[in-house]
Amino acid sequence: MVDRLRAQAESAAADEENKRVAVAKLTEKIDRLTPVRMLSDFIRSKAASDDYRGRLGIFANIRADFHKLSELIERNNSAVLSAKSDSEHVDETLVNRVILYIDDLDRCDAETVVSVLQAIHLLLAFPLFVVVVAVDARWMSAALKQHYPGLLVSSGGGAAAEPKDYLEKIFQVPFWIDGVETAGARQMTRELLRDKLDPDVLRGKTDPIVPIVNEDGPRDITRVVVSRASAAITPSEIEVCDQLAPILARSPRAIKRFVNLYRLVRAGLTDAERREFFDGHGLASDYGAVLFLLALEQGCPNSAPGFHEALASEPADLNAVVRTLNDSDTDASGLREWLEAEHNPFLGASGYLQKWSSRISRYSFRLRRDDMAEYTTPI
């Protein structure tokens, strides 16, 4: 009798527990039907799902990684500072800041420029990163106008956005680097030529004019050997380079190209040209004429064509030609400054300049008129 009653009690207790569990489940279902709970469950389920994460794209993944990296490094920096304040030994070799330098962006197409700007904007969202960009602002502005033709305009005539409005949202500290001045151009030219100065030539122990090709036979370029003495830059050449510094004060790249081109011309001289190259002085010499014409090509490229045309027509006064060359060319200001500093620099030089004009004009980025037929295909 007792066993039967105990069994009935246990069965009733089990039924009660089952009903309690059922009631709890029903209550939970009712709770889930409330707007707050339904919204909470929906957000939680989507956050744990890969439905969207797989479609966020590379920028979202990069941003998430950078966010995690920034948090870890900030945490490490805080630990380092705390340890320093407690006079504990800390490892200071760990990365605590990432500084990214970007150059030559103004050599890229518009799509690449905009992509890099977007990447910079992403990086600068985190305190971990510092980005330094060396670029021609004109190139960036042109790239933005090309990429967003319907959004950005070139000048502010109203409420329309301009490229500078876009750039201001990315760059916090714009800074213009000063251009090259005459003293800087002179110093840079000397530095570039420093390792080309032969001590024996400078001491007068070696003749700077050394034949390098068999005089009796035809010129064979494969047999040319430029000796150390013949390649050395002489004090007379350095003197002319110093005088031409105002013309070359355009950009460091123009100065470097000027030096390299002059060395190239020097290396390509024939025996006869080399023997006569150092006759005369200043612009009234072969080396002086070559240096001036190369300086004109690299320092005042917009004015160079007019000067070559004037040489071809044998002008009576080259000084007057220079004064009237392309007044709208801002680069020509150095040329006019040079003319004012020198006293009649073209005296006796017109013959030398005419002699080298055709050859030196080929070292430029423009097509000469007398070469047009060579590069034009007849229809």
- 251-307: pLDDT as tens digits: 899 999 999 999 999 988 888 888 899 988 888 899 999 999 999 999 888 888 888
Same domain, 153 and 82: yes
- Full domain range(s) for residue 75: 58-168
Same domain, 163 and 205: no
Q: Which of 139, 168, 197 is the last residue of a domain?
A: 168
**Residue 95 confidence (pLDDT) above 50:** yes
Q: Is residue 177 part of a domain?
A: no
pLDDT of residue 214: 42
Q: How many domains does the chain have?
A: 2
How does DSSP classify residue 343?
A: S
Same domain, 275 and 328: yes
Same domain, 158 and 250: no
pLDDT of residue 89: 62
pLDDT of residue 181: 87
Same domain, 101 and 192: no
Residues 188-212 have a mean pLDDT of 59
Beta strands in 273-358, from DSSP E residues, in sequence order: 280-281, 284-285
Distances in Å between the alpha carbon of 347 and those of 289, 337, 343? Answer: 12, 18, 9
Q: Which amino acid is present at 288?
A: G
**Residue 132 phi/psi, 5° resolution?**
-115, 120
Q: Is residue 27 part of a domain?
A: no
Residues 316-327 have a mean pLDDT of 69
* Bridge partner residues of 131 (DSSP): 100
* pTM (global) more than 0.85: no
Same domain, 158 and 187: no
Looking at the chain, the whole-number percentage of residues with pLDDT higher than 70 is 70
Q: Which of 116, 139, 168 is the last residue of a domain?
A: 168
Q: Which amino acid is present at 91?
A: D
Distances in Å between the alpha carbon of 275 and those of 211, 212, 225, 230, 248? Answer: 8, 11, 16, 11, 28
Q: Is residue 46 part of a domain?
A: no
Q: Which of 113, 138, 168 is the last residue of a domain?
A: 168
Q: Is residue 41 part of a domain?
A: no
CA distance 31 to 28: 5
Q: What is the mean pLDDT of the chain?
A: 77
Q: Is residue 53 part of a domain?
A: no
Q: Is residue 156 part of a domain?
A: yes
**Residue 205 confidence (pLDDT) above 50:** no
Same domain, 269 and 164: no
Locate 358 and state its tokens: 């055709």
How does DSSP classify residue 132?
A: E
3-state secondary structure of 102: strand
Locate 294 and state its tokens: 């190369």
pLDDT range class, residue 310, cuts 50, 70, 90 = confident
pLDDT of residue 221: 41
Same domain, 352 and 254: yes
Q: Which amino acid is present at 224?
A: V
